[in-house]
A = this chain, B = another copy of it.
Amino acid sequence: MTTEPVLIAGAWQVADSTGMFQAENPATKEALAPVYPISSWVDCDAVLDAAAAAFVEMRSMPGSRVAEFLEAFANAIEARADDLVEIANLETALPKSPRLADVELPRTTGQLRQAAAAARSSNWTQPVIDSANNIRSCYGAIGPVCVFGPNNFPFAFGSASGGDFAAAIAAGNPVIAKANSSHPGTTKIFAECAKAAAEETNMPEGIVQLIYRTNHDIGQQMVTDERVGATGYTGSRGAGLALKRAADGAGKPIYLELSSVNPVVFLPAVLQQKGAELATEFSGSCLMGTGQFCTNPGMVLVVKSEAADQFIEAVTTQFSEAPVGTLLSGSVEKSMHQSHQILTAAGAEVLCGTGGGSGTGYCTANSLLKVTGAQFLRDPETMQTEAFGNSSLIVVAEDLDEAAAVLSTLEGNLTGCLYSAEDGSDDAAYDLLAPVLRQKVGRLLNDKMPTGVAVSPAMNHGGPYPATGHPGFTAVGIPGAMLRFAMLQCYDNVRATRLPEILRDDYEGQAQRLIDGVWT
């Protein structure tokens, strides 16, 4: 059987494969026609060689050239928008409109153009000059970056199109994209666009390459390879931690976005004052996109009260009555069931759902579970099991002190939210809980659901382990996200003509530079 070719060194080539796979249409559970190869080390080795060769060219390339590539790529994507939306819908069951065509695609091209602007301005390199000592430093490209994209954003976090991709390329690195196995056809079109853009802008052949899948051991070998600079991974905790162990052992930076339950705390007074409104807001946020967002509110913390009971009742009704969306894949469905089993075995009460949905595709009924604070505190690790999808766990604490204790046992999360009354009657409770939550999350929100992740320089889509692998970096937001794929490069007494342009005394560009302590 002929499998789809892989993109190595600028050419679509027959894969050296150890197996093959097909994607499925999650709405019908039927296999889609194209057959994709599982690449052997031979493919990976060739890809790494081409990436290393591309990096030799790219590491001395002005940012403006990289910007031209990124812009040509964004244009190429727009030219194939219909194809992309069509196939992504088949492979993920995400709605064509507004989700894919009107939200995620513009976000993706917008991100690429922001990355292009950052590459062109060079501000991201943070040039620092110490004139008296003639020591100069800035961030520079780290080397070929492996990108493993997640299943839930086939465009905006796609391995050949998304945030990690844009950040890695804009920082001057070639990208080796490993497609997510649930949407290989979508990723292939992005790689076609990247190839065309690379040719149009005269970039090295290995700037963007694509393989669809490897066995786990080969994936691990890849992220430890000496030709690799760093890795970006978004996906399941198990696979991510295996890659992390391998990369850590080889001293290769790896940035992971793993699991996050994104706790939302509704403080007593605000729940009393507008519990019904909050129930609707929460239900809408949690079920949007069938709950398949990294920042989905998978845990709610309230303090026992009549208002809390009413809130829970309202959310339960809304979850029970809301339509059930299709999940991204059979493995998402299976993983949700497993998580629900773990939570119920640990004592969680099922308020609604956890059984199969009624659709023809992969689905699970909208699910709401409940535990007391005391139950949570008996086994906080198990109670933080992420049920990725249209599911949430409500924790009812006995009082604020128990709520604080619950928060203090949390693992790292991407986000944490606190809703509080406008009139100040929750302020003491806020002051008790917010400092505890602050250290556990990358992004702290007030009075707002965490689901939206603006592409902003002030965004932090990151957080303490195991939400990510390092709490100092963000995966969303240009230029911050680029620093993951950079190394700090210092020049000591290096002759003026040999310095990167941005560190020279006669630099004429617009980038802001910290010269002798002052931003100039």
Kindly state whether residue A128 has any CB partner on chain B within 8 Å.
yes
Contacts of A492 in B (CB 8 A): 415, 443-446, 448, 450
Contacts of A31 in B (CB 8 A): none
**Do A465 and B128 contact each other (CB < 8 Å), given the known contacts A439-B143, A458-B135, A473-B488?**
no
A442 B498 Cβ-Cβ under 8 A: no
A-B pairs with beta carbons under 8 Å apart, 26 shown: A56-B435, A128-B457, A133-B454, A135-B456, A137-B459, A244-B248, A245-B249, A443-B491, A444-B489, A444-B490, A444-B494, A445-B494, A446-B492, A446-B494, A446-B495, A446-B498, A450-B492, A457-B514, A460-B488, A462-B488, A464-B487, A472-B483, A473-B488, A474-B488, A474-B490, A519-B519
Nearest opposing residue in chain B for A127, CB measure:
B458
Q: Point out the residue from B253, B454, B480 that lies within 8 Å of A471, measured CB to CB.
A: B253
Nearest opposing residue in chain B for A495, CB measure:
B446
Q: Mark A370-406, 1 if CB is under 8 A from B, else 0.
A: 0000000000000000000000000000000000000
A139 B250 Cβ-Cβ under 8 A: no
Kindly state whether residue A434 has any CB partner on chain B within 8 Å.
yes
Kindly state whether residue A60 has any CB partner on chain B within 8 Å.
yes
Contacts of A459 in B (CB 8 A): 130, 135, 137, 490
Contacts of A129 in B (CB 8 A): 458
Give complex CA distance A60, B448 in Å: 24
Q: Point out the residue from B133, B137, B466 that lies within 8 Å of A460, measured CB to CB.
A: B137
Kindly state whether residue A223 has any CB partner on chain B within 8 Å.
no
Nearest opposing residue in chain B for A443, CB measure:
B490
B494 A435 Cβ-Cβ under 8 A: no
Contacts of A430 in B (CB 8 A): 498
Given pairs A251-B412, A442-B488, A444-B491, 13 additional interface contacts (CB within 8 A): A133-B456, A136-B458, A137-B459, A250-B465, A251-B465, A253-B472, A415-B492, A438-B489, A442-B489, A444-B490, A445-B494, A448-B493, A460-B488
Give complex CA distance A290, B512 in Å: 42
Give complex CA distance A519, B128 in Å: 15
Kindly state whether residue A469 has any CB partner on chain B within 8 Å.
yes
Nearest opposing residue in chain B for A491, CB measure:
B444
Kindly state whether residue A51 has any CB partner on chain B within 8 Å.
no
Nearest opposing residue in chain B for A415, CB measure:
B492
Kindly state whether residue A470 has any CB partner on chain B within 8 Å.
yes
Kindly state whether residue A302 has any CB partner on chain B within 8 Å.
no
Nearest opposing residue in chain B for A409, CB measure:
B226
Assembly stoichiometry (copies):
2
A447 B137 Cβ-Cβ under 8 A: no
A59 B435 Cβ-Cβ under 8 A: yes
A472 B444 Cβ-Cβ under 8 A: no
Tell me the count of chain A residues lying within 8 A, CB to CB, of chain B.
71
Q: CB within 8 Å of B: which residues of A?
A: 56, 59-60, 128-130, 133, 135-137, 139-140, 142-143, 244-245, 248-253, 412, 415, 430, 434-435, 438-439, 442-448, 450, 454, 456-460, 462, 464-466, 469-474, 480, 483-484, 486-495, 498, 512, 514, 517, 519
Nearest opposing residue in chain B for A497, CB measure:
B427
B493 A447 Cβ-Cβ under 8 A: yes
Q: Which 5 A-B pairs have the closest CB atoms?
A: A251-B465, A460-B490, A471-B487, A130-B458, A248-B248
Q: How far is the CB of A512 from chain B (nearest CB, A)?
A: 6
Q: How far is the CB of A379 from chain B (nearest CB, A)?
A: 15
Give complex CA distance A460, B444 in Å: 32
Contacts of A514 in B (CB 8 A): 457
Give complex CA distance A140, B460 in Å: 13
Contacts of A443 in B (CB 8 A): 490-492
B142 A471 Cβ-Cβ under 8 A: yes
A472 B457 Cβ-Cβ under 8 A: no
Q: How far is the CB of A481 from chain B (nearest CB, A)?
A: 11
Give complex CA distance A179, B250 in Å: 28
Between A56, A129, A487, A519, the greatest number of chain B beta carbons within 10 A of the residue's beta carbon is seen for A487
Give complex CA distance A56, B431 in Å: 13
Give complex CA distance A494, B435 in Å: 13
Contacts of A488 in B (CB 8 A): 442, 460, 462, 471-474, 480
Contacts of A460 in B (CB 8 A): 137, 488-490
